Amino acid sequence: MPLTETIAPRPSALRFDRRRSPRWGVPGTAVAIRTAGDRFGLVHRLESIDCSAFGMGAEVAEAVAVGTAVLVGFESARLGHRQGIVCRCAPCDGGYRIAIRFEHRSAA
């Protein structure tokens, strides 16, 4: 076996993090309330939450379509609420993992 094969990692073995900013875990739960469409007002319970300044990831019981507008309210009052758009939804252990991109707050 040539030496380069023993020390060079295979491209398929490399893992890259797509995140642009650090994330942190959020204790407790949150809810995502649909703010538009035919299922307006439907509430989704969010669990296993991680956040960044620009968005969040969480697990939900049922699929939420990409492009769905939501208002996220956190159990912790200090986190307040954020508006966002679901930008990814993929099956995971017994439910779905979603990603929500927060809408930027504009200055008044």
Nearest alpha carbon to residue 64 among 27, 91, 104, 26 = 91
Q: Which domain holds residue 91?
A: 21-102
To the nearest whole percent, how much of the chain has pLDDT over 90?
53
| Residue 96: other Cβ atoms inside 10 A | 18
Residue 36 placed within a domain: yes
Strand 55-60 and strand 95-102: the pairing is antiparallel
Q: What's 31's domain CATH number?
A: 2.40.10.220
Residue 9 placed within a domain: no
Residue 39 placed within a domain: yes
Count structural domains, the chain. Answer: 1
Q: Round the average pLDDT of the chain to a whole number and report it.
A: 82
Per-residue pLDDT reduced to its tens digit, 18-71: 556 677 678 788 999 999 988 999 999 999 889 988 999 999 999 999 999 999
Residue 79's pLDDT band, with cuts at 50, 70 and 90, is confident
Residue 4 placed within a domain: no
Q: Taking the model in full, what pTM does it have?
A: 0.75
